[in-house]
Structure 1
Amino acid sequence: MQINRLFEIVYMLFNKKTVTARELAQHFEVSQRTIYRDIETLSQAGIPIYTNKGKGGGISILPQFVLNKSVLSDVEQNDILSALQGLNALNIPNIDPVLSKLGALFNKNNTSWIDVNFSHWGSDDSEIEKFMSLKHAILNKKVIMFDYYSSYGEKLTRSVEPLKLVFKGRGWYLYGYCRLKKDTRMFKITRIRNLLTSDEVFNRDIPEDIWSPSENTGNRGDIITLVMKIDAQLTYRLYDEFQPENISRNDDGSFTVTTSMPENEWVYGYIMSYGEYAEVIEPTHIKDIIVSKYKKALKKYL
């Protein structure tokens, strides 16, 4: 009990700078004599605590002192606070008090440097609620059920053991074990509908590398090297969607993009989203597929 009280006294001194023995005694419901004994114990332990008498006086700690400077470097302290800020942005409960205490102990300002919003532009609060439900199911290992729309427009009801929320390639995904497919899968969260959390608890370990091909066989096609020529009018998209080293400027002002993608219906639709401003150079069979799709689309308007 005394150790806990000693720690909290140090924290209060970091936080309030100066506090009277009476205030400490009332807070801990002990006598002022006990508080003075605690202060003496802390001083003997090397904590630079001092007292000032008179009006405005009280018990203080040297402002330059950092409690665990010998244990954690300045960089490590910043890393810890940054990680906690990230958790706080994800609405993980009870992070604020920890941030406040560690910020005081490390003698650092608690600067808010990150904010995260799980919803996409134009969505309502239901998207955020969906993420909170998924987080609850993952942390409590609860089986979930939902309707899911595949890349082919197929709607199936899935029963899933949720393992992790991940962000990849400009999109949020749920990684989990699908009982329907009897394998792990990545589910794009914007395609999840009618999410329900059951009372059933599961027990499953997360694979070390969830991005390995063996963990994603049901979600990807063969990886191809895609080369496209894109007009200058679409420059604003290029640097949002590709790495600068994958983009080269042509003499006519257009761009050539070289990238690796899984070949599936999604990538065909992605290429076509550039409309008249993109031309597939390689592979030639992808070029033929896009031509065929444009011809079929054109028939609908003739």
Structure 2
Amino acid sequence: MRKGRLFQVVCYLLERGQSTAAQMAGEFGVSVRTVYRDVETLNAAGIPIYAETGRGGGICLMKGFVMDRALLSKEERGDILNAIKERGEEFAGPTPAVLSEIAELFQLPAGEGLEVDLSGEGYAAKAGERFRLIQRAVIQHHCADITYAGPGGEPEKLDLMPLKLCCRAGGWYLKAYCTGAGEYRELSLSRIIKWKPGVDAFEPRSFPEERPAPPPETTRVILRFPREMADRVYEVFDGTLISQRKDGLLELRQDVPVEDRLIGRLLALGPGVKVAAPASLREELARRAREIYEAHK
């Protein structure tokens, strides 16, 4: 029965936005202490329900939160939503709008949009578990002590306030305030060696707005490759710029910054992708490939 009540609590807060522990205790026929225990249980499961003290305070569910799908399988998430729909006789049935929010909460087809999977190369074996710890620290405004791989691989000890998680082409990053150095930093999740949750909470603050960086200098790059390589090229370049040549090969023409990231991507694609231009990129790619060969022969 308690599992059913926990989902009712989520539904109840989605519909009302905020409530007091006393009101919820009356709604579900339990004690105020039980309500707070339920809130703690849901928090431990990664659902950010929190209590605000003082006048105008209450128990709230953070708006816009999407539950990490790693906690439940797709079938389990579907069963949860169906159970909430079918058990209307036990509590006031949720409105269609709330059902839609619940579908989004559990990342069901009605609201599917984001999946975080850090099990690939470049991340530690327990990266998914660490991501959830970091996510929870951001949501609950809890400090953390970390060991971070600094420049040259030297480990840094940092005390920080985790402010925001962000994702871009290069991977996942944490925007944080480092209390020891008194500065804001953006940290790559893949370079966090150790994460130790802190006991202290901090007042929410905003990460300073960054000035738009000037656009990087770009070079027209021309790649040619067989059709069977197309899916891999689409993953790292703009597929709308690919055309077919008369000789049957596919060709990509794109203006991109010529930097280490580009060279790494081309090396990862292997010998199936040929650099037709510029010649300087082709020569640098060949030089790097020879270095790799010499190091491993």
**Where does the alignment leave 5 or more consecutive residues of structure 1 unmatched?**
1-10, 16-25, 30-82, 215-220
1:286 corresponds to 2:281: yes
Letter in 1 for 2:246: D
- Superposition TM-score, scaled by structure 2 size: 0.54
Query: Residue 219 of structure 2 contacts residue 258 of structure 2 at CA under 8 Å; is this kept in 1?
Result: no
1:230 to 224, 228, 231: 224
**Where does the alignment leave 5 or more consecutive residues of structure 2 unmatched?**
1-10, 16-25, 30-62, 72-79, 86-90
Structure 2 Cα separation of the partners of residues 230 and 153 of structure 1: 36
Over the matched positions of the two proteins, sequence identity in percent amounts to 17
Query: Shift in Å at residue 236 of structure 1?
Result: 1.7
In the TM superposition, 1:98-117 aligns within 5 A as 104-106=94-96, 110=100, 111=103, 112-113=108-109, 114=112, 116-117=115-116
Structure 2 Cα separation of the partners of residues 140 and 91 of structure 1: 20
Structure 1 Cα separation of the partners of residues 277 and 183 of structure 2: 33
Q: How has the CA–CA distance of structure 1 residues 280 and 162 changed in structure 2, closer, same or farther, with 3 Å as cutoff?
A: farther
Structure 2 Cα separation of the partners of residues 88 and 192 of structure 1: 23
Structure 1 Cα separation of the partners of residues 163 and 142 of structure 2: 10
Q: How has the CA–CA distance of structure 1 residues 182 and 293 changed in structure 2, closer, same or farther, with 3 Å as cutoff?
A: farther
Query: Shift in Å at residue 166 of structure 1?
Result: 1.7
Query: Residue 217 of structure 2 contacts residue 257 of structure 2 at CA under 8 Å; is this kept in 1?
Result: yes
RMSD across aligned positions (CA) = 4.5
Q: How has the CA–CA distance of structure 1 residues 28 and 169 changed in structure 2, closer, same or farther, with 3 Å as cutoff?
A: closer
Letter in 2 for 1:224: T
Query: Residue 163 of structure 1 contacts residue 206 of structure 1 at CA under 8 Å; is this kept in 2?
Result: yes
Q: How has the CA–CA distance of structure 1 residues 125 and 149 changed in structure 2, closer, same or farther, with 3 Å as cutoff?
A: closer
Query: Residue 231 of structure 1 contacts residue 253 of structure 1 at CA under 8 Å; is this kept in 2?
Result: no
Query: Residue 147 of structure 1 contacts residue 193 of structure 1 at CA under 8 Å; is this kept in 2?
Result: yes
- Superposition TM-score, scaled by structure 1 size: 0.53
Query: Residue 227 of structure 1 contacts residue 280 of structure 1 at CA under 8 Å; is this kept in 2?
Result: yes
Residue of structure 2 in register with 1:118 after alignment: 117
In the TM superposition, 1:237-276 aligns within 5 A as 237-259=232-254, 261-276=256-271
Structure 1 Cα separation of the partners of residues 180 and 254 of structure 2: 33
Query: Residue 149 of structure 1 contacts residue 192 of structure 1 at CA under 8 Å; is this kept in 2?
Result: yes
1:127 corresponds to 2:123: no
Q: Select between 222-231 and 107-116 the one with higher mean Cα deviation.
A: 107-116
Residue of structure 1 in register with 2:8 after alignment: none
Q: How has the CA–CA distance of structure 1 residues 300 and 102 changed in structure 2, closer, same or farther, with 3 Å as cutoff?
A: farther
Residue of structure 1 in register with 2:66 after alignment: 87
Q: Tell me the number of residue pairs that the alignment of Structure 1 and Structure 2 aligns.
A: 214
Query: Residue 119 of structure 2 contacts residue 125 of structure 2 at CA under 8 Å; is this kept in 1?
Result: no
